[in-house]
Amino acid sequence: MKQFFMALAILSLVAGCSDKAEIPPPGLRVVKAMTAGVTTQSHTRTYGGDVHARNETNASFRVAGKLAERLVDVGALVKGGQPLARIDVTDLALRAREANAQLAQAIADEQRYRDLHSKSFVSQAALDTRETAKQAARAQASLARNQAAYSTLTADHDGVVAEVLAQQGQVVAAGQAVLRLAWDGEREIAISIPEEAVADIKVGSPAEITLWTAPGKKWRGKVRELAPIADRATRTYAARVTILDAVQAPLGMSANVTFIAPGSDTLVVPMSGVFQKGDQPAVWVISKDSKLSLRPVRIAAYGDEGVHISEGIAPGERIVTAGVNRLHEGEQVRIANGSAAVH
């Protein structure tokens, strides 16, 4: 038994001495990699909107009064000069009668003073005052007659009633919108463009238009109008896109407007190949002697196929595509079999 324990102690001593032996160097790290190739990227931006007439008018009375009659409803087709609504003419008629009476009195006074002036009973200044009063009364009578004629609201142009803004029996002020009239003619899409995209869109920029009721069809469009100032609430810029192709698009229909930016050459790498060093994105580049170097890059866009890189790497360079957080500068690696070359 003593011989057994003695042999065991000798083996333990030998094992303890072996811990100080030199550890053999590990093998090279195996990484997945790809060869960067050029691809052409086109930026597309799509915005939702709705169909409008190019010209829309808020029809209103030029005088105040009670809305006595509305002659059209939403969707009604109207012709230029057609009556749309009427207000109560009672007060307007009274004012016209009053103005006519004052005009008659002014004419009589002017004639009487003219007779007196011919007999040297009144001065020229007194006669001039009566002549001025007559002219003012005549102007007031003409104004009253015009206001009486304004009691009927007529269409300025052929079109369709897009919205009713006042109801029969309502008292409306002068200039208050009663109806919104969409003119016949061109149709366009009203959209809102966010701040980050407005620099790439100009008046005259081409666009592609689709209607939600016809998802398989596309029409050509062009930006006709772009607001120079952003909306304070939404921080977007209002734009109008004219439909260039002939299409019967009902007013208010939902539509999409797509802008396609010119293509640019970029290099695409997988999202897993991008290493974030602080605020700067970078990729691991494999040199000819299989050593790693961290290369800062500029990202042009993110797409379904990967990250589009515009600066930092050149076509033909080998890029690590996985495990980028475990690598070190200057480390020598071995590329795994089956690594891809992307073009």
CATH code for position 318:
2.40.420.20
pTM check: above 0.85: no
Residues 270 and 224 in one domain: no
Query: Which residue is associated with the tokens 């992307």?
Result: 342
**Residue 142 forms part of a structural domain:** yes
The phi and psi torsions of 163 (rounded to 5 degrees) equal: -160, 145
**Residue 208 forms part of a structural domain:** yes
- What is the per-residue pLDDT across 134-186, written as a single tens digit (0 to 9) for each? 898 899 888 888 888 888 899 988 889 988 999 988 999 999 999 999 888 88
Residues 250 and 270 in one domain: no
Q: Give the number of other Cβ atoms within 10 Å of residue 224's Cβ.
A: 15
**Residue 175 forms part of a structural domain:** no
The helix-helix angle for 90-118 and 124-149 (nearest 10°) equals: 160
Boundary-marking domain end, from 207, 227, 260: 260
Residues 210 and 226 in one domain: yes
Its sign, for the CA torsion 60, 64, 65, 66, is positive
Give the chain's mean pLDDT. 83
- pLDDT grade, residue 262 (50/70/90)? low
Residue 191, strand partner residues: 239
For residue 135, give the DSSP letter: H
In this structure, what token pair is assigned to residue 219? 């029409």
Residue 333 CA neighbour count, 13 Å, CB half: 27
Q: What is the pLDDT of residue 11?
A: 39
Residues 337 and 271 in one domain: yes
DSSP helix/strand/coil, 192: strand
What DSSP string describes 266-321?
A: EEEE-GGG-EEETTEEEEEEE-TTSBEEEEE-EEEEEETTEEEEEES--TT-EEE-
323: left (phi over 0), alpha (psi -120 to 50) or beta: left
CA 44-45-50 angle, 5° bins:
135
CATH code for position 108:
1.10.287
The phi and psi torsions of 270 (rounded to 5 degrees) equal: -65, 155
In this structure, what token pair is assigned to residue 188? 């366009």
Task: Choose among 70, 247, 238: nearest CA to 161.
Answer: 70
pLDDT over threshold 60, residue 5: no
**Residue 195 forms part of a structural domain:** yes
Q: What is the pLDDT of residue 339?
A: 53
**Residue 116 forms part of a structural domain:** yes
- pLDDT grade, residue 266 (50/70/90)? confident
Residues 227 and 279 in one domain: no
Residues 282 and 337 in one domain: yes
In the chain, % of residues over pLDDT 90:
30
**Residue 51 forms part of a structural domain:** yes
Contact present, 29 and 336 (Cβ < 8 Å): no
- Reported as type and span, the H/E element at residue 223 is strand 214-226
Residues 225 and 202 in one domain: yes
Rounded to whole angstroms, the Cα distance separating 30 from 236 reads 50
DSSP helix/strand/coil, 8: helix
Contacts (Cβ under 8 Å, ≥6 apart) of 12: none
pLDDT over threshold 60, residue 340: no
**Residue 304 forms part of a structural domain:** yes
Residues 272 and 333 in one domain: yes
Residue 64 or 10, more confident: 64
Residues 215 and 247 in one domain: yes
For residue 184, CA distances in Å to 60, 159, 189, 239 come to 19, 5, 15, 20
Boundary-marking domain end, from 260, 292, 321: 260
**Residue 13 forms part of a structural domain:** no
To 10 degrees, the CA torsion angle through 227, 230, 235, 241? 0
Alpha helices in the chain (DSSP H): 2-18, 90-118, 124-149
**Domain of 101, in residue numbers:** 89-150
- What is the per-residue pLDDT across 294-310, written as a single tens digit (0 to 9) for each? 999 988 777 777 888 88
Q: Looking at the 3D structure of the chain, how many domains does it have?
A: 3
Mean pLDDT of 98-110: 88
Q: What is the pLDDT of residue 42?
A: 58
